[in-house]
Amino acid sequence: MKIFVLLTLALLTSLSLFAGGPPLDRLVATFSIVARDPATEQMGIAVASRYFSVGAVVPWAEAGVGAVATQANVNVGYGPRALELLRQGLTAQQVADRLLAEDKFPGKDGRQFAIVDAKGGVVTYTGPNAPKWAGGLKGATWAAQGNILVGPEVPEAMGKVFETTRGELAEKLYAALKAGDAAGGDKRGRQSASILIVCGGREPCGRNTNNPRWLYINVDDNPDPFPELRRLLDSALAYNYGDQAYKLVQQKKLPQAHAAAEKDVRYAPNSADSHMMLGFLSYLTGNKTAALEEFEKARKLNPKFREQWDASVNYFTAFRAILDDKEFLKKVLPEK
């Protein structure tokens, strides 16, 4: 009899949890920021949560179309459907209205989402039954929102830091996400984080060929995902700018290639390849002193510096002009 009573109480408790919606560990309780950079027209999302692999569920974006975060009592279909509607020419607000009107799944009153469109429209929506605390704010180019948060100070901090942080969209999104975490973030703790950014137009801008995605990084399961997210962001941006420098050299746009190589080195200060590329480009754009400094950094980082040097000169025909400067070569390759 005693066992029967205990089992009955356990069952009733379980049912009471599901009566108001799924238990907290099943909800995509998160804080996110969705934004557009008017200068580059890039759009993206940064998101963090006490939830496994939040980047697999919340962020959706398409170059030249829009960016979407879908969370709380999440209907994941909001992401692709929102992009489809934006592609058809609807505004962010019109898309939000359609998503809610079309939603036939249970728990609609607990949804939370944000949309930024390529024309500058911004929407943030929080359903009346989204798990508390829940809410959002928006500015001219961004929307910050979250649920199961410590309070409204989280999106407030995110918006403020986003607007005051200098630099490209990736840096602004990361800074805003960190500010949300510092303000209390998800009150259950930390587990995962993600940043997704797409190119400004439909033309590819990402690494390699025909890639309309600037970057997509994920920390899926970590008690403090932010240090790893920062590491991945630095790596992603270094690879992107290194790839840009390579392509611009091929196009004989040396000043632009030099600028990209400088950014590559900024994000990858311990990469011999990055310093080597910047060394050659510094020489070719007229700064021999800076070139020597970069080559020395590459030498310290790579014990096979000479092999790396020879491979670079053989691969990039533009770099071979340096071979005619015998005086400079004696400084770079004293062993020659």
Domain boundaries, the chain: 24-223, 242-332
Separation in Å, CA 94 to CA 38, 57, 58, 99, 144:
21, 22, 20, 9, 19
Q: Is 132 exposed, middle or buried (0-12, 13-18, 19+ CB in 10 A)?
A: exposed
Residue 190 half-sphere exposure toward CB, CA atoms < 13 A: 20
The pLDDT tens digits along the chain (336 residues) read 444 433 333 333 333 333 344 444 455 568 999 999 999 999 999 999 999 999 999 999 999 999 999 999 999 999 999 999 999 999 999 999 999 999 999 999 999 999 999 999 999 999 999 999 999 999 999 999 999 999 999 999 999 999 999 999 999 999 999 999 999 987 788 999 999 999 987 667 888 888 899 999 999 999 999 999 999 999 999 999 999 999 999 999 999 999 999 999 999 999 999 999 999 999 999 999 999 999 999 999 999 999 999 999 999 999 999 999 999 999 999 875
Neighbour tally for 317: CB within 10 Å: 11
Beta carbons within 10 angstroms of residue 198's beta carbon = 28
Q: What is the pLDDT of residue 12?
A: 33
Enter the pTM of the model.
0.89
Distance CA 155, CA 158 (A): 5
Q: Please give the pLDDT value at position 207.
A: 85
Tokens of 219: 């920390």
Mode of pairing for the β-strands spanning 30-36 and 43-49: antiparallel
Within 112-224, residue ranges assigned H as helices are 153-164, 169-182
Cα separation, 242 vs 301, whole angstroms:
17
Domain 242-332, classified CATH 3.90.1010.10, yes or no: no
User: CA torsion angle for 84, 87, 89, 95 (degrees, to 10)?
Assistant: 30
Give the pLDDT of residue 202.
63
Helix, coil or strand: residue 287:
coil
CATH architecture assignment, domain 24-223: 4-Layer Sandwich (3.60)
Q: What is the pLDDT of residue 92?
A: 97
pLDDT value at residue 28:
54
Helix (H) or strand (E) holding 66: strand 66-72
Classify strands 30-36 and 142-146 as parallel, antiparallel or unpaired.
Answer: antiparallel
How confident is the model at residue 210, as a pLDDT? 87
